[in-house]
Structure 1
Amino acid sequence: MDTQPIAAEVNPHYLQHLMHSASQRDVQASEDILCGNGVKLLAKGARIDASTQARLLQHRLAKPLETCLSMGACVDADALRARAERLLADDPVLAHLCPAGAGQPLAVSLGKLPLSGPVQALITLLDDQQRLDHAVRVALLSLAQARRLLPGQVEEHRTLTLAGLLHDVGELYLDPEVVDAPDQELDAWHWRPIATHPLVGHQVLLHLEGTGPEVAARVLEHHERLDGFGYPRGIAETAFALSSQILAAAEWLATLMEAGPRALLRASAAARLVPGEFHPALLGWVHQAAQCGPAPTVGHIDGAVSLERFEHVARCLQQARTMLPQATLQQQRASTTLRTLIDLNLCRMRRLLAGFSSSGLDSLPPEMVLSTVLGASEADLHHDLVALLDEFAWRLRELEREAVLRSARLPDNEARVLQALFCQLRDAPVRAAA
């Protein structure tokens, strides 16, 4: 079967990032760049800069632009090793989670990765967009866990390390205003394009020299979850192999570490209260990160703000309980596909409700729980309360996001049913300020 990429238009967002890099370093055509009809657009050695931007956008190319570039002063393997050594030296939690064990130091292994020219160019673009530190953290964490859970599988170790470096290249092809927007400012509808970046990354890497199908497959699955509540495909159980789980958990953990100790505490709480997203060995890794990191500083807790947040979460969850009979009835009437999607969301919602109850947060009215915590001298109670409220609020938003994302697979009438069931959680009333 012919798996060669077909002629395609140049992505304007990728090209804009390339123009930014071209303003700082020499970017040239590594071969003749041809239009889809075979006409030469740029000769080998031609500079890629603002003067060629319009021409590149106007034509479909015979080969993807990413495969036809050379870039001066690229981030090479030696630079990756130096970056990894700096991150490990500066971050005790990362160093704790990435021991060398019996093998060579992880930073050394990173520096020995074979990197093709197109791969170096993509990594350099990530660096120019201030995204490379995150990518290197994910690569280090992936390699550390691959050595622990997949001993002796050296090729898979390399695949996961390279996939860790390149897992977010799909974001280079999306609107920067959406990608860079604070998460709390993206509602479920505006978040939907973000959920496509694993698919975009997969398509970019599938035929790229130096990556190929295995790396592309890991990148495609780096936001999936074992319980089926991930994206973009919602795979679950045996379809979500341990190797892909390693990369997904590494990406999740790196993001949390970058957000600070409070985020790690949240994740540790989530792993206890909403289990099933990863293999138990990987969840233990998250608990380890939360325990070895510095204690989060909550500082002064604004009682009015905290009570508003607490009541909002409690009301949303109460609304979830109220809607269970309606959702169950809709599920019985639904087509097979819609029934499966409703069931997935209901399972997650029931686990959230069970987690909230097991945490004791619904044992008393919110104002009484908050008063007890604020009156206690133990800082850990303050940390735990803030972390739990943040995590439950996030998970409720995630329910809405998943309903919007998965509704794209359905006919319009069924999509409206799924959205109506789970998007109503955002409208749960919030206690008015006094």
Structure 2
Amino acid sequence: MNFTIILKDIAKTIFKNSESIFQLDIKKQEQILNAFPKPKDLFERSYFQYKCQTKKQSALLVTAQNIMALTLLPIYYIKLALARIDILQLAGENCAVFLTSGITIQTIPECLSKEYNEIIPCKIAEEDMNIGKQEKNLLYKLFIRYWYSPYFIFKCMLKIGMYASIIEKFNPKAIITCNEYSYTSSVLTEYCRMRGIEHINVMHGEKLFNIRDSFFEYERYYVWDEHYIILLTDLRADNKQFRIAIPPSVILDCKNNQEQLYDYTYYLAGEKTRNLLTIRNLLLTTGVPSSRICIRYHPSYCNANEIMRIYKGFHIESPTEVPLNISLSRTKYPVSLYSTVLYQAYESGKDIIIDDITDNVKYKKLKELRYIMLEKPHGKLSEHIGNAR
């Protein structure tokens, strides 16, 4: 079985079993961040980010990871060192490679896209990874400093092997990614500098105060708003890297595309059955007929059959069948507790509503976590309950 797939499954399990973002103690997170000295280089930035993430995991899990890495590190080092790669210049001059990971190229701001003749979406398989002399030298320096954290070194080695393959195949001017949450990111910035390549990150989803996203540094990181620069700098990311640019994936053409069919569209985000029932009952008290209310479920986190059962009589919208800009065009008010869709709707000129009733504990927690939409003009669902139409 492809080992990178196994690693991804492990990572998903780790994040699934880690504390929910809504369970995090903000003061404890701040104490953890402030306990670290100022990072002296990119290696230390990566390592501090790794240590922050281990604070959210059990000691048993961290130990198991390191034991696994002790076995696999020498095996994969030899495998990558012996790997041969056919050097094929698959792109022309002045190109950039975008590591997609299932993310649309529309997340790249137009001002960045215009810098290159071509941007190549790319996925690298395990068999394409390799390390040469330059990569070995970098890994040696990393090992000398952090030999006592083999899992950290192992993950960095695999990512370096991936980047080495990309550089040999495409000879890009830049590697563009959406990976600030990875503790390998700053080490990879060091590697890219060594190879004379820009390492650029673009924002692709909502950000809250979470030490998972701490200490990282790229040559450039494009965020959507000044709010995120302040937030991520407070998480001790390097402040010189940030640029503000809103990509096509955020500003949608949703003003005149469609006839307005709904007063409300609720954008679900994986709520549990109890909350789904609460949302249904709340929407029924707005005074709007259920035929004028749309429910759009999340493609990954919602059970479509359960949604159809609970919201019988409402219009159910499939995210795989209706593009988001069309969905927003059809509705007067987009509604959710916490969703990137609310920011997209706001930037696209829509009036948004935040659900402050269904889970009031989470709503209050979002204030602590510095959710951007609570600082932007918005309505509250509580203001629409009981309205006569």
- Using the size of structure 2 for normalisation, the TM-score is 0.30
Greater RCO, CA 8 A, separation 6+: 2
Higher strand proportion (structure 1 or 2)? 2
Going by fraction, where is helix more abundant, 1 or 2? 1
TM-score by length of 1: 0.28
